[in-house]
């Protein structure tokens, strides 16, 4: 079995992490002089920058929710579907290995917080002002790793079609020349700024916040406990005032 054939087989093995495959193909791309493909691999390994061009599989859609101090996370309702669609689609910048670590958690839903200033604009006509996040299904993150794996597979198949086989990760000059004919589709450039008023000042930063597992029960319990404590204290104060006013001698 040639080096490329072995690689194709490994890419189809779901037990091998996408991050490991990226490192292996980084060696091949470097030896074959595939600069565009190598740039893409480096972004997937290190994470994307705010001004990077994000692949389609890294633009995820979810549901926007605001944290109600009493009721917990509640969906944010929009008057215009166009605005909701734009705000609920965000690019994720985490590296492939970071996404794998997130999926190692048992969470079925993941939280992608909006910066405070963006959350304030989303809730401009609502009270109280609170935390706003985009919630993503587990399948959305799995889809990112699938997108990475698909691109790796397409590139490896393209090399095989060109007759590039490799022997213990060594390639002849002829094979290197043939590799230049394999279309990479991974040009790295600049991404256009967000169009519209919301988030225009801070460009793409608000779209690329870190993803974390959904806030758990104990976090909610903490806030509910504080609210309950405040209610009890206020109730006791009011009761004392009433008793002193009507029953004092």
Query: What digits encode the pLDDT tens for the residues 198-248?
Result: 333 444 555 566 665 565 544 555 556 677 777 778 877 777 776 676 665
Rg of the chain, C-alpha, whole Å: 26
Q: Does 35 share its domain with 87? A: yes
* pLDDT of the residue at 203: 43
Q: Which pTM was predicted?
A: 0.71
Q: How confident is the model at residue 58 (pLDDT cuts 50, 70, 90)?
A: very high
158-190 core/surface letters (b: 16 or more CB in 10 A; e: else): bbbebebebeeeebeeebeebbeebebebeeee
CA–CA distance from 196 to each of 97, 114, 138, 142, 206 (Å)?
A: 33, 16, 29, 30, 13
Q: Does 135 share its domain with 56? A: yes
Please give the tally of structural domains in the chain.
2
Q: What would the two tokens of residue 133 be?
A: 């996040």
The DSSP call for residue 206 is G
Rounded CA-CA distance 108/100 in Å is 14
DSSP H or E run through 69: none
Q: Does 118 share its domain with 240? A: no
From the number of C-beta atoms within 10 Å of its C-beta (0-12, 13-18, 19+), residue 8 rates as: middle
Q: Does 209 share its domain with 223? A: no
Q: How far apart are the first and last CA of the chain?
A: 99
Q: Does 238 share its domain with 203? A: no
Q: Does 152 share its domain with 246? A: no
Rounded CA-CA distance 173/118 in Å is 53
Q: Does 171 share its domain with 231? A: no
- Contact call for residues 208 and 49 (beta carbons, < 8 A): no
CA–CA distance from 71 to each of 42, 193, 221, 224 (Å)?
A: 43, 36, 11, 9
Q: Count of residues for the chain?
A: 249
Higher-confidence residue: 1 or 144? 144
pLDDT 10s digits, 102-143: 999 888 899 999 888 888 888 876 656 688 999 999 999 999
pLDDT 10s digits, 10-41: 999 999 999 999 999 999 999 888 899 999 99
3-state secondary structure of 31: helix
CB atoms within 10 A of CB 20: 13
Q: Does 226 share its domain with 207? A: no
Domain boundaries, position 236: 217-249
């Amino acid at each position: 079995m040639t080096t490329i054939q072995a690689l194709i087989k490994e890419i189809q093995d779901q037990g091998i992490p996408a991050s490991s495959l990226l490192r292996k193909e980084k060696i091949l791309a470097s030896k074959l002089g595939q600069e565009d493909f190598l740039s893409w691999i480096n972004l997937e390994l290190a994470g994307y920058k705010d001004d990077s061009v994000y692949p389609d599989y890294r633009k995820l859609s979810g549901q926007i929710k605001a944290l109600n101090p009493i009721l917990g996370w509640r969906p944010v309702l929009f008057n215009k579907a166009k605005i909701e669609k734009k705000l609920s689609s965000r690019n994720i910048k985490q590296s492939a290995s970071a996404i794998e670590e997130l999926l190692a958690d048992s969470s079925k839903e993941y939280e992608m917080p909006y910066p405070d200033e963006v959350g304030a604009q989303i809730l401009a006509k609502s009270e109280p002002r609170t935390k706003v996040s985009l919630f993503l299904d587990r399948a959305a993150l799995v889809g990112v790793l699938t997108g990475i794996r698909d691109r790796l597979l397409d590139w490896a198949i393209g090399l095989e079609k060109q007759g590039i086989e490799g022997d213990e990760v060594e390639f002849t000059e002829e094979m290197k020349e043939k590799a230049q004919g394999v279309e990479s589709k991974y040009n790295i450039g600049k991404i256009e700024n967000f169009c519209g008023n919301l988030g225009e000042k801070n460009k793409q930063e608000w779209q690329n916040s870190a993803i974390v597992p959904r806030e758990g029960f104990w976090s909610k319990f903490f806030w509910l406990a504080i609210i309950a404590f405040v209610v009890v204290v206020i109730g006791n104060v009011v009761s004392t005032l009433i008793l002193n006013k009507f029953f004092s001698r």
